Structure 1
Amino acid sequence: MQVTETLNEGLKRGYAITVTAAELDAKVNEKLVEAQPEIEMKGFRKGKVPMALLKKQFGQRMIGEAMQETIDGAMNEHFEKTGDRPAMQPDVKMTNEDWKEGDDVAVDMSYEALPEIPEVDLSGVTLEKLVVKAEDEAVTEALENLAENAQEFEARDEAAASEDGDQVVIDFLGKVDGEAFEGGAADDYPLVLGSNSFIPGFEEQLVGVKAGDEKDVSVTFPEEYQAEHLAGKEAVFSCTIKEVKAPKAAEINDEMAKKFGAEDLEALKGQIRERLESEYAGAARAVMKRATLDKLDELVTFDLPPSLVEAEAKQISHQLWHEDHPEVEGHDHGEIETTEDHTTLAERRVRLGLLLAELGQKAEVEVTDAEMTQAIMAQARQYPGQERQFFEFIQQNAQMQQQLRAPLFEDKVIDHLFDQATVAEKEVSKEELQKAVEALEEE
């Protein structure tokens, strides 16, 4: 086998690989010897078919496999010898298209090599970690929000008319073309006006009713209604208003705290304070992570594989285009222009991606099975009732596993970099942290 370099320009590499006819024939014979013990043929015992007959019978079929394995072996040997790591799958093509049995096999292989990543020293870098304490005002605001969510309803005066947001207790009977239908009736049903829990147009017609009123509500079922026999049909609901209740926020006390699983109000305040400071810490980490990536971008420079930059720039332009055209759900649109800004951003992403991968490998950063399981379960919760199916889908899909693993790996590498740098804490207000986070979104 002969490997000749044909291109060495920047990160671009090209090689001409020649596999001799003798090497290919030897590979075919090797595969036949390996298969011989299991082959049966009329007139011969199992495993006793002569090699010449095997070659005549199966040789042609095995040439393609032998050719592929020989070329793959040559490529692997080349990468082990040179230490090159291709940025993307190498482009391999046979050059003697008129090849026939007995000829040498000539193949061209081209690829872009991943660059040598320089060492990074963060020991002299100082990072600022923003720290926000949960103030009493923030805890009180959170408590008030919880009280609204835990609201109760108390009866209005008998003569009081219902308002949007009130709860009306009703008996109702629905009919289509004068006939009652299944599921169209209920007694003592508590309906919150404005909750949009009933057919569109139903709740609005009950604004202004009083206890003891009887009212016919006319609505039209949506065309896409789940019950096909009712879809698009007009219906009349005869309603009896039994009670009108006004919303009342829950009192902020120990009883309310117990509704949210806390022992008492002080314990609930402690939980809220802890949750708020955890949220602040997460936002502060995002700010410090961006600062770290900016430092890396300044400290390190190296050549980038053009194919990776081009692919990333196309992905960026495609994503941004869809954000600007949310009405287009498919991908059957025309070609999207990649701008200089897209390419600049792509270069940064590729550079930092390669650098973090290298740093993580050198630091022996690994994502554990337990961490992957936790990440999969967190994603599965977004599909209530289908968690098991989602879990099995991820287990059988290597690409999806990599999509979940990549951000976990990156975060662990970032934590490793935090440990290497000098981190100075700075206490700031919630508003200052919010401004820092908004600045990230604007970039």
Structure 2
Amino acid sequence: MQVTETLNEGLKREYAITVTAAELDAKVEEKLKEAQPTIEMKGFRKGKVPMALLRKQFGQRLLGESMQEAIDGALTSHLEETGDRPAAQPQMKMTNEDWKEGDDVNVEVSYEKLPEIEEVDFSKIKLERMVVKADDEAVKEALDNLAESPQAVTYEPKKTQAKDGDQVVMDFVGKIDGEAFEGGSAEDYPLVLGSNSFIPGFEDGLLKVKAGQEKDVEVTFPEDYQAENLAGKTAVFTCTIKEVKGPKKPKIDDELATKFGAEDLDALKAQITDRLEAEYTGASRAVAKRALLDALDKKVKFDLPQSLVDAEAGQIAHQLWHEENPDVQGHDHEKIEPTKEHIKLAERRVKLGLLLADIGQKADVKVTDQEMTQAIMNQARQYPGQERQFFEFVQQNAQFRQQLQAPLFEDKVVDHIFEQASVKEKEVSKDDLQKAVEKLEEE
């Protein structure tokens, strides 16, 4: 077997691999001898089938297997010798297309190798981490928001007309073409106007009603309504208003705290403080992470595999095109050509992705089974009632598991760098942190 280099340009590599006919024949013979003791054939005892007959019966299939194994083995040996790590699956092409049994096999192999990345002295990277404390004003604002939430607000009867935010207690009967329909009636039903919990237009039809009033409200069910027998149809709801109640904001006291699972108001304030500071810490980390990635992008230089850049730029262009054209659900549209901006962003993503992967590998950063399990459980919570199906999907889908693992690995590598970088903490206001986060979202 012979491997000859035909291209060595930047990260691009091409090789001509020749597997001789004699080598292939020897491999086929080896496979037949290995299988011979187990083969039974009419007229022969087990293990006594002549080699010539076995070759006639199985030779062609084994020749194909031997050819593939020989080429794969040659490539594997070559990669082990050179230390090359292909950026993507190597491309293989048989160059003697008129090949027939008895000929040598000539194959052209091409790939882009991953670049060599120099060690980075993280101690020379200077970063600033914003620190925000949950002050009394922030805690008070959070308490006010809790007090105005549906879980805390109570309602008390009022004599004036119903307005947005009020609660209307009523009996109603819904009819289509004069006939009442299943699920269209209720008694003593409390509805908060503006909650958008009913069919569009229904709550608007109850604005300005008063207790004791009867009113017909005409609405049209949406075309995509879940009950197909009602979808797109017009209904009239006869509503008998029993009470109109106005919202009453509760006092911020121990009683309110118990509604949210705290022992008393002080305990609730402590919980809010912890939650706010956790949110601030998360936002601050995002800002510091971006600053770190920017610093690494400027500091480290190496060649990028063009195939990875092209694939990433194409994906970015395709995703942004769909965001700009949300009505197009499929992918049978014209080809989306990446712009210079797409290519520039792709180069940054590929560069940082390769760099973080290299740093993580050298530092032996691992995502533990426990961390993966926690990530899967967090995702499963987004599908209430379907957790089992989700776990089965994850178990069967290696690509999805990789998508869950990638951000976990990246964050652990970033933490590894933070530990060695020069990070100075700076106490700032909540507004300053918010502006920094908004700036991230604009970029």
TM-score category, normalised to shorter length: over 0.9
TM-superposed deviation, 1:73: 0.7
SS at match of 1:358: helix
In the alignment, the residues of structure 2 paired with residue 311 and residue 232 of structure 1 have an alpha-carbon distance, to the nearest angstrom, of: 44
**Any idea what the Cα deviations from partners look like across 1:191-233, whole Å, max 9, x if unmatched?**
1112222222222221111111122222222222222222222
Residue in 2 aligned with 1:429? 429
In the alignment, the residues of structure 2 paired with residue 341 and residue 204 of structure 1 have an alpha-carbon distance, to the nearest angstrom, of: 46
SS at match of 1:117: coil
In the alignment, the residues of structure 1 paired with residue 235 and residue 358 of structure 2 have an alpha-carbon distance, to the nearest angstrom, of: 66
SS at match of 2:3: strand
TM-superposed deviation, 1:326: 2.9
TM-superposed deviation, 1:332: 2.2
Q: Which runs of 4+ in 1 moved over 6 A?
A: none
Q: CA RMSD in A?
A: 1.4
**Any idea what the Cα deviations from partners look like across 1:29-62, whole Å, max 9, x if unmatched?**
2222333333221112333322221111010122
In the superposition, relative to structure 1, how do residues 12 and 255 fare at CA in structure 2: closer, same or farther (>3 Å)?
Answer: same
In the alignment, the residues of structure 2 paired with residue 349 and residue 202 of structure 1 have an alpha-carbon distance, to the nearest angstrom, of: 49
The code of the aligned residue for 2:298 comes to E
TM-superposed deviation, 1:122: 1.1
TM-superposed deviation, 1:316: 1.9
TM-superposed deviation, 1:244: 0.8
Residue in 2 aligned with 1:5? 5
The code of the aligned residue for 2:85 comes to R
In the superposition, relative to structure 1, how do residues 37 and 154 fare at CA in structure 2: closer, same or farther (>3 Å)?
Answer: farther
The answer on 1:364 being equivalent to 2:364 is: yes
In the superposition, relative to structure 1, how do residues 222 and 298 fare at CA in structure 2: closer, same or farther (>3 Å)?
Answer: closer
**Any idea what the Cα deviations from partners look like across 1:52-109, whole Å, max 9, x if unmatched?**
2111101012211111111111110110011001111111000011111111110000
In the superposition, the TM-score normalised over structure 2's length comes to: 0.96
Residue in 2 aligned with 1:183? 183
In the alignment, the residues of structure 2 paired with residue 291 and residue 239 of structure 1 have an alpha-carbon distance, to the nearest angstrom, of: 59
The code of the aligned residue for 2:119 comes to E
**Any idea what the Cα deviations from partners look like across 1:383-413, whole Å, max 9, x if unmatched?**
1111111111111111111111111101000
Residue in 1 aligned with 2:402? 402
In the alignment, the residues of structure 2 paired with residue 118 and residue 232 of structure 1 have an alpha-carbon distance, to the nearest angstrom, of: 64
Matches within 5 A, 1:32-431: 32-149=32-149, 150-157=152-159, 160-431=160-431
The code of the aligned residue for 2:11 comes to L
In the alignment, the residues of structure 1 paired with residue 320 and residue 293 of structure 2 have an alpha-carbon distance, to the nearest angstrom, of: 22
SS at match of 1:93: strand
The code of the aligned residue for 2:190 comes to P
The code of the aligned residue for 2:153 comes to Q
TM-superposed deviation, 1:347: 1.6
Bigger CA drift: 291-300 or 426-435?
291-300
TM-superposed deviation, 1:163: 1.2
In the alignment, the residues of structure 2 paired with residue 213 and residue 258 of structure 1 have an alpha-carbon distance, to the nearest angstrom, of: 37
TM-superposed deviation, 1:416: 0.4
In the superposition, relative to structure 1, how do residues 423 and 14 fare at CA in structure 2: closer, same or farther (>3 Å)?
Answer: same
In the alignment, the residues of structure 1 paired with residue 98 and residue 308 of structure 2 have an alpha-carbon distance, to the nearest angstrom, of: 34
In the superposition, relative to structure 1, how do residues 221 and 269 fare at CA in structure 2: closer, same or farther (>3 Å)?
Answer: same
The code of the aligned residue for 1:154 comes to E
Q: How many residues align?
A: 441
Bigger CA drift: 12-21 or 26-35?
26-35
In the alignment, the residues of structure 2 paired with residue 40 and residue 248 of structure 1 have an alpha-carbon distance, to the nearest angstrom, of: 88
In the alignment, the residues of structure 2 paired with residue 435 and residue 222 of structure 1 have an alpha-carbon distance, to the nearest angstrom, of: 40
In the alignment, the residues of structure 2 paired with residue 55 and residue 156 of structure 1 have an alpha-carbon distance, to the nearest angstrom, of: 96
Unpaired segments ≥5 residues, structure 2:
none
In the alignment, the residues of structure 2 paired with residue 373 and residue 392 of structure 1 have an alpha-carbon distance, to the nearest angstrom, of: 13
In the alignment, the residues of structure 2 paired with residue 198 and residue 437 of structure 1 have an alpha-carbon distance, to the nearest angstrom, of: 36
In the superposition, the TM-score normalised over structure 1's length comes to: 0.96
TM-superposed deviation, 1:3: 0.4
In the alignment, the residues of structure 2 paired with residue 131 and residue 384 of structure 1 have an alpha-carbon distance, to the nearest angstrom, of: 36
Unpaired segments ≥5 residues, structure 1:
none
SS at match of 2:116: coil
TM-superposed deviation, 1:414: 0.4
In the superposition, relative to structure 1, how do residues 221 and 319 fare at CA in structure 2: closer, same or farther (>3 Å)?
Answer: closer
TM-superposed deviation, 1:162: 1.3
In the alignment, the residues of structure 2 paired with residue 408 and residue 26 of structure 1 have an alpha-carbon distance, to the nearest angstrom, of: 48
In the superposition, relative to structure 1, how do residues 222 and 341 fare at CA in structure 2: closer, same or farther (>3 Å)?
Answer: closer
> What percentage of residue pairs aligned between the two structures are identical?
75
The answer on 1:30 being equivalent to 2:30 is: yes
The code of the aligned residue for 1:296 comes to L
SS at match of 1:14: strand
**Any idea what the Cα deviations from partners look like across 1:342-367, whole Å, max 9, x if unmatched?**
22222221111111111100100000
The code of the aligned residue for 2:142 comes to A
In the alignment, the residues of structure 2 paired with residue 221 and residue 95 of structure 1 have an alpha-carbon distance, to the nearest angstrom, of: 65
TM-superposed deviation, 1:441: 2.2
SS at match of 2:210: coil
**Any idea what the Cα deviations from partners look like across 1:276-324, whole Å, max 9, x if unmatched?**
1111111111111111112212221111111111111222222222333
In the alignment, the residues of structure 2 paired with residue 29 and residue 243 of structure 1 have an alpha-carbon distance, to the nearest angstrom, of: 93
The code of the aligned residue for 1:282 comes to G
